């Protein structure tokens, strides 16, 4: 402990000697750390901080602290080096957890909201840390106190044991034990308060401020901030200084920092919010008011001011939340009822404009519950409208009974405003009213809503007496109420009652509109009066030519009546563009396509389908557009290239949304392809399939896109467009390399294509998949056609090793040997011929004797020049029936056999016999 004391004074050495017997070095260090974190212990240098010993606040240590600190010994003489200029340029590294954050805020690197959020997070962390330190300090001080009390007891016991041998009358007297009392802890200074040793400097700064020496006052305040960065006073003083100097922006920043250091003053936050509004910073003002409301949640003025600011920045939802809070405070505080109702009406109206119907209704219902005496007929009307729109009919009746004097008579009791509850069974229909009475002075609009609620609750039989006042009113003035009642009848399938009301409306001057005629037509259609319904829908079309629903309904009715031509005309809008119809007409085109296709009017259907499906490419039916389509084969790349293409030509609306679903467009597309195929219009089919790949709805669906791509391949094959077909089938074969049907389609494409690219494609793909049988056969066939028989024989043998019992492979191997034997310079012709015939014979055995095998064996003999053997097999083959189909069908080889026989007989000089064979089998 002597080393711990260092070069301290005698009083400090004496103190450590006393403490040496009371606490250990570990306990002393824990106490010192606790005091340092609490702010009660000042460390003057880094060396002193590393020492084990601490310094108590004696005169000598205070002088050392004063010497080592940068605080001036004499008033007014402060080391201001590095503090000249504004706060943005000061190069001081302040100590404290929030210094960097403060500098960022002052320099404009972060906004006030970010600064506020970070400060709140740091305050939470600091509060948690202080709580832990206080707990450790209490445990340490409790241990020290117990040790001191025990030592005091030992000293008293030792004093009582002193014996005076000369005093014979002495006897030991028990010494009363001191009562242990709880040690009073010294209250810790708050971190936001200014330390005592800096108060003098702060006072000097205030004097400088009062004398007008602003720069020196600023430097002193900055020095205080450096030494005590969490103190409030220097920031407040700096704020006043900059406010005095006219820099309100900087002043507000410093005031905000001070407010964050002590955030529990709502009036200060409100003042700062007012300053922010004056500086045209509403979002910062909102944040300040939020802080003020957090401190004083019962102050409605703060909430009201924040709501006004939310309205200014168009955040109406948050403003409405604030108004709801004000209404709650007004209810709890017993505010003026008229003010409450006024605010409730405005808030409810705002919620209605925002589309929040339930909140608007609940707002007025709360006002009605809290202050029922001030409710007006307009309020009741508004509440009823919202309740009816939400189908809350029983509560609507309850409101009418309670405030409007409506009385319901049941068999055993009456339901009136004097009733304390709503009758059970009114909702589910178990309780049916016998009569309903309404006051004569009841406003006509409330009477209409009463009738609507009763109709929806299935009590329409007692409605007729309530309708009498309507017949006395002018239809031009109350027509909207007629319409509400008629629609209620329609919704409950009471079409006869609704018809009588609609008939009055459509013959009026004000309500002779398309919407009313449309409802009237629906009503007549439901009653089965088709001719009258057609007239109503025609009236709608006359008044609103672009009304899609009316035209569709009119077309359906015309079709039911057997007027097909009129049904088609109803779906055609006069004056619409044939080349590029607007998107609102696409729904009509869908119905028109279905109607024309069902009527078997294909030419008109074809034109209508093109308007619907390909209106976006009407001007791009050119080779350059096809190049854009087939430049990229993947769906994503093709969609991106098309989007770029249409943006380049100025058609940005290409990928805009349409009113027709993808399934409806896909059905029309399939109908179009089927019709073109049936009509054998293969070139048109190819155009339709190609442009179908560009339709946005088809591009957006992967399954539909794959099927459309396959339809395009079939169309290319049918129209003998091998180039486009090859591009499509190549991608299919790469993806479905083990699918035999894909390779069969590949062969069909090769047949109709004069391009030789498939040879290189098959060879490259064979290198990646050497065991693929289909690729091996294709490469072998290509070699056979090109005359490289040895290469083809090698490929065939590789396949033969995998599938030795395949008849086709045996036939191909036999033909390869026969071709090699027929070459002019081939050696060992006899051996080649024997091997070829043996494989042909194996083919015959594996395939069985039929028209196909006999014809192939005859062709082999014919090629070898063995015409007698060839005639034998040809004759046997020509008398065999085809394996599939009838004589003369697609798979019948009789014509080919007869042609070969005629060639043999012509060569031998039997021209008459050759002519007879041709006439017998080849003449149609």
Q: How high does pLDDT run on average in the chain?
A: 79
Mean of pLDDT values over 813-824: 91
**Residues 6 or more apart whose Cβ sits within 8 Å of residue 198:** 71, 224, 227, 228, 231
**Does 421 score more than 80 pLDDT?**
no
Within-domain flag for 568:
no
The answer to whether 272 and 296 have CB atoms below 8 angstroms apart is no
pLDDT, residue 130, reads 52
Tokens describing residue 379: 């309020």
Q: Binning pLDDT at 50, 70 and 90, where does residue 424 land?
A: confident
> In angstroms, how far is CA 612 from the centroid of its own chain?
30
The answer to whether 362 and 394 have CB atoms below 8 angstroms apart is no
Condensed to tens digits (0 to 9), the pLDDT of residues 879-914 reads: 988 877 777 677 889 999 999 999 999 999 999 999
Condensed to tens digits (0 to 9), the pLDDT of residues 264-311 reads: 889 999 999 999 999 998 999 999 999 999 998 888 899 999 999 998
Cα separations (Å) of 756 from 245, 749, 759, 761, 792?
A: 89, 12, 6, 9, 17
The fraction of the chain above a pLDDT of 90, given in percent, is 31
The answer to whether 424 and 431 have CB atoms below 8 angstroms apart is yes
> In angstroms, how far is CA 558 from the centroid of its own chain?
44
Domain that holds residue 697: 583-748
Cα separations (Å) of 149 from 38, 77, 175, 728?
A: 26, 49, 15, 99
Mean of pLDDT values over 114-129: 63
pLDDT, residue 624, reads 63
Q: Binning pLDDT at 50, 70 and 90, where does residue 333 land?
A: low
Tokens describing residue 134: 């206080």
Separation between Cα atoms, residue 683 and residue 688, nearest integer Å: 9
Separation between Cα atoms, residue 283 and residue 262, nearest integer Å: 21
Within-domain flag for 686:
yes
Q: Which residue, chain included where needed, has tokens 């085109």?
A: 589
Helix-strand-coil split of the chain, %, nearest 5: 70, 0, 30
The answer to whether 505 and 515 have CB atoms below 8 angstroms apart is no
Using a cut of 0.95, tell me whether the model's pTM lies above it: no
Mean of pLDDT values over 419-430: 72
Mean of pLDDT values over 588-596: 92
Q: Say which residue, 586 or 113, is predicted with more confidence.
A: 586
Within-domain flag for 613:
yes
pLDDT, residue 174, reads 47
Within-domain flag for 212:
no
**Does 678 score more than 80 pLDDT?**
yes
Within-domain flag for 756:
no
**Residues 6 or more apart whose Cβ sits within 8 Å of residue 53:** 1, 4, 5, 6, 8, 16
pLDDT, residue 578, reads 57
**Does 605 score more than 80 pLDDT?**
yes
Separation between Cα atoms, residue 846 and residue 814, nearest integer Å: 13
Within-domain flag for 537:
no
Longest CA–CA separation in the chain, Å = 178
Q: Binning pLDDT at 50, 70 and 90, where does residue 701 land?
A: confident
The DSSP H or E segment spanning 904 is helix 894-908
pLDDT, residue 898, reads 93
**Does 50 score more than 90 pLDDT?**
no
The answer to whether 341 and 373 have CB atoms below 8 angstroms apart is no
Separation between Cα atoms, residue 695 and residue 673, nearest integer Å: 15
Q: What phi, psi does 762 have (nearest 5°)?
A: -65, -40
Separation between Cα atoms, residue 31 and residue 306, nearest integer Å: 48
pLDDT, residue 486, reads 94
Domain total in the chain: 1
Separation between Cα atoms, residue 398 and residue 417, nearest integer Å: 9
């Amino acid at each position: 402990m002597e080393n711990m004391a260092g070069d301290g004074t005698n009083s400090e050495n004496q103190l450590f000697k006393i403490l040496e017997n009371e606490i250990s070095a570990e306990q002393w260090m824990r106490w010192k750390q606790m005091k340092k974190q609490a702010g009660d212990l000042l460390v003057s240098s880094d060396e002193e901080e590393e020492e084990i010993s601490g310094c108590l606040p004696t005169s000598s240590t205070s002088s050392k602290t004063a010497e080592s600190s940068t605080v001036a010994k004499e008033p007014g003489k402060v080391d201001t080096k590095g503090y000249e200029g504004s706060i943005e340029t000061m190069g001081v590294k302040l100590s404290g957890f929030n210094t960097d954050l403060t500098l960022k805020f002052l320099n404009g690197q972060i906004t006030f909201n970010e600064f506020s959020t970070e400060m709140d997070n740091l305050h939470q962390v600091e509060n948690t840390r202080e709580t832990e330190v206080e707990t450790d300090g209490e445990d340490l001080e409790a241990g020290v106190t117990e040790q001191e009390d025990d030592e005091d007891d030992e000293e008293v016991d030792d004093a009582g044991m002193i014996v005076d041998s000369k005093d014979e009358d002495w006897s030991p007297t028990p010494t009363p034990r001191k009562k242990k009392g709880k040690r009073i802890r010294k209250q810790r200074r708050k971190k936001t308060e200014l330390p005592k040793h800096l108060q003098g400097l702060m006072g000097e700064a205030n004097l400088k401020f009062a004398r007008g020496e602003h720069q020196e006052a600023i430097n002193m305040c900055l020095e205080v901030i450096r030494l005590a960065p969490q103190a409030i006073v220097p920031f407040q003083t700096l704020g006043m200084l900059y406010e005095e100097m006219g820099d309100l922006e900087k002043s507000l920043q410093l005031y905000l920092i001070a407010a964050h250091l002590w955030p529990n003053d709502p009036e200060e936050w409100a003042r700062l919010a007012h300053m922010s509004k004056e500086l045209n910073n509403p979002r910062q003002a909102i944040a300040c008011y939020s802080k003020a409301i957090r401190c004083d949640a019962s102050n409605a003025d703060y909430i009201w001011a924040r709501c006004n600011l939310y309205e200014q920045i168009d955040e109406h939802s948050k403003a409405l939340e604030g108004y709801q809070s004000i209404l709650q405070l007004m209810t709890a505080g017993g505010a003026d009822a008229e003010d409450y109702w006024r605010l409730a009406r405005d808030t409810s109206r705002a919620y209605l404009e925002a589309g929040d119907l339930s909140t608007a209704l609940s707002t007025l219902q709360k006002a009605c519950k809290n202050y029922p005496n001030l409710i007006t007929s307009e309020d009741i009307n508004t509440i009823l409208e919202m309740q009816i729109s939400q189908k809350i009919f029983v509560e609507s009746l309850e409101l009418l009974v309670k405030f409007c004097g409506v009385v319901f008579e049941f068999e055993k009791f009456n339901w009136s405003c004097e009733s304390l509850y709503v009758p059970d069974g009114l909702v589910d229909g178990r309780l049916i009213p016998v009569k309903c009475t309404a006051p004569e002075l009841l406003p006509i609009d409330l009477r209409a809503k009463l009738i609507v609620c009763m109709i929806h609750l299935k009590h329409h039989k007692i409605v007729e007496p309530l309708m009498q006042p309507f017949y006395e009113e002018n239809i031009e003035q109350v027509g909207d109420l007629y319409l509400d009642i008629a629609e209620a009848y329609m919704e409950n399938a009471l079409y006869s009652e609704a018809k009588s009301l609609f008939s009055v409306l459509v013959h009026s001057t004000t309500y002779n509109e398309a919407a009313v005629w449309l409802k009237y037509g629906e009503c007549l259609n439901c009653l089965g009066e088709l001719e009258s319904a057609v007239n109503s829908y025609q009236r709608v079309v006359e008044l609103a030519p672009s009304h899609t629903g009316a035209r569709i309904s009119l077309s359906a009715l015309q079709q039911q009546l057997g007027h097909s031509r009129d049904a088609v005309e109803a779906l055609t809008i006069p004056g619409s563009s044939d080349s590029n119809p607007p998107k609102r007409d696409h729904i009509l085109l869908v119905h028109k396509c279905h109607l024309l296709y069902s009527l078997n009017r294909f030419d008109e259907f074809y034109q209508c389908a093109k308007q619907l499906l390909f209106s976006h490419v009407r001007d791009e039916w050119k080779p350059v557009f096809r190049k854009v389509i087939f430049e990229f084969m993947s769906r994503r790349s093709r969609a991106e290239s098309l989007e770029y293409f249409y943006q380049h030509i100025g058609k940005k609306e290409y990928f805009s949304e349409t009113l027709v679903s993808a399934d409806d467009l896909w059905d029309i597309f399939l109908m179009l392809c089927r019709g073109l195929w049936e009509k054998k219009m293969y070139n048109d089919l190819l155009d339709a399939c190609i442009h179908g790949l560009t339709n946005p709805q088809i591009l957006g669906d992967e399954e539909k896109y794959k099927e459309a791509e396959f339809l395009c391949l079939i169309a290319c094959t049918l129209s003998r467009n091998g180039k486009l077909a090859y591009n499509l089938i190549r991608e299919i074969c790469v993806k479905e390399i083990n699918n035999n049907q894909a390779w069969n389609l590949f062969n069909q494409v090769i047949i109709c294509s004069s391009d030789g690219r498939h040879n290189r494609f098959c060879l490259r793909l064979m290198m990646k998949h050497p065991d693929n049988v289909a690729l091996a056969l294709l490469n072998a066939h290509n070699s056979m056609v090109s005359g490289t028989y040895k290469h083809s024989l090698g490929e065939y043998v590789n396949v033969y090793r995998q599938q030795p019992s395949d008849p086709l492979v045996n036939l191909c191997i036999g033909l390869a040997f026969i071709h090699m034997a027929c070459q002019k310079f081939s050696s060992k012709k006899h051996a080649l011929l024997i091997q070829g015939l043996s494989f042909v014979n194996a083919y015959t055995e594996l395939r069985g004797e039929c028209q196909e095998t006999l014809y192939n064996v005859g062709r082999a003999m014919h090629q070898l020049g063995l015409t007698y053997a060839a005639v034998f097999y040809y004759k046997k083959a020509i008398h065999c029936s085809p394996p599939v189909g009838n004589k003369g069908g697609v798979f019948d080889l009789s014509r080919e056999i007869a042609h070969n026989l005629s060639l043999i007989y012509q060569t031998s000089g039997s021209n008459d016999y050759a002519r007879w064979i041709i006439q017998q089998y080849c003449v149609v």
